[in-house]
Amino acid sequence: MVRRLWGAFAIVIAIVGPIAADEPGAPRANDPSPKKRATDEIFGLTKVHQFHLLISAKDYAAMEPDMGGFPFGPGGPGSGNPARPGPGQGRPGGPPAAPGFNGFEFEYVHGDFQVEGETIKDVGVRYKGNATYMASSGAAKRSFKIDFDRYDDNQKFHGTRKLNLNNEVMDPTRVHEALAYAVFRAADVPASRTAFAEVRLTVPGKYDAEYLGVYTLIEQVDKAFLKTHFKNAKGLLLKPEGVGGMAYLGDDPAVYEKPYNAKSGGSKDEWQRFIEFTKLIHRGDDNQFRTEIGNYLDIDQFVRLLAVNVMLSSLDGALGGMGHNYYLYLSPESNRFVFIPWDLDITFGGFPMFFSPEQQMDLSIEHPHQGDNKLIDRLLTMPEVKQAYRERLRQLAEEVFSGDQLANQIAAVEAVMKDPIAREKKAADDRREGGVPGFGPLGPGGPPTSARTFVETRAESVMTQLAGKSKGFVPTMPFGPPGMGGPGGGPGRVFAKPALQFADQNKDGKLSPEELQSAAGVLFKRWDKDGNGTLDEKEIEGGINSLVPGPQSGPPGGGERGRPDRRRP
Give 98-147 as a DSSP string. PP-TTS-EE--EEEEEEETTEEEEEEEEEE--SHHHHHTTTSS---EEEE
pLDDT at 491 over 60: no
CA-CA-CA-CA torsion for 383, 394, 176, 455, nearest 10 degrees?
140
What mean pLDDT do residues 288-312 have? 97
- Give the integer Cα–Cα distance in Å for 195 and 178: 7
Contact 465, 365 (CB under 8 A): yes
Contact 297, 330 (CB under 8 A): no
Confidence bin at 29 (pLDDT 50/70/90): very low
pLDDT at 104: 61
Higher pLDDT, 308 or 95: 308
Domain boundaries, the chain: 39-225
What mean pLDDT do residues 425-448 have? 66
- Give the integer Cα–Cα distance in Å for 302 and 355: 25
Can you say whether residue 16 is alpha, beta or left, with left for phi > 0 and alpha for psi between -120 and 50 degrees?
beta
Highest averaged pLDDT of the listed ranges 24-38, 73-87, 195-209, 545-559? 195-209
- DSSP H helical ranges for 261-382: 268-283, 286-296, 299-312, 357-361, 374-379
- Give the integer Cα–Cα distance in Å for 563 and 175: 35
Mean pLDDT, all residues of the chain = 80
pTM assigned to the model: 0.79
- Give the integer Cα–Cα distance in Å for 69 and 486: 23
Q: What share of the chain is helix, strand, coil (3-state, %, to 5)?
A: 35, 15, 50
> Which range is least confidently modeled, 166-175, 411-420, 438-447?
438-447
pLDDT at 323: 76
Contact 303, 315 (CB under 8 A): no
What mean pLDDT do residues 276-305 have? 97
Query: Which residue from 286, 278, 284, 239 is spatially nearest to 259, judged by alpha carbons?
Result: 239
pLDDT at 13 over 70: no
Say which DSSP state 482 is in. T
Q: Are strands 326-331 and 118-127 parallel, antiparallel or unpaired?
A: unpaired
pLDDT at 557 over 80: no
Confidence bin at 135 (pLDDT 50/70/90): confident
Query: Which residue from 179, 145, 180 is spatially nearest to 163, judged by alpha carbons?
Result: 145
Interhelix angle 451-466/299-312, nearest 10 degrees: 120
- Give the integer Cα–Cα distance in Å for 308 and 302: 10
- Give the integer Cα–Cα distance in Å for 401 and 20: 13
Indicate the SS3 state at residue 50: strand
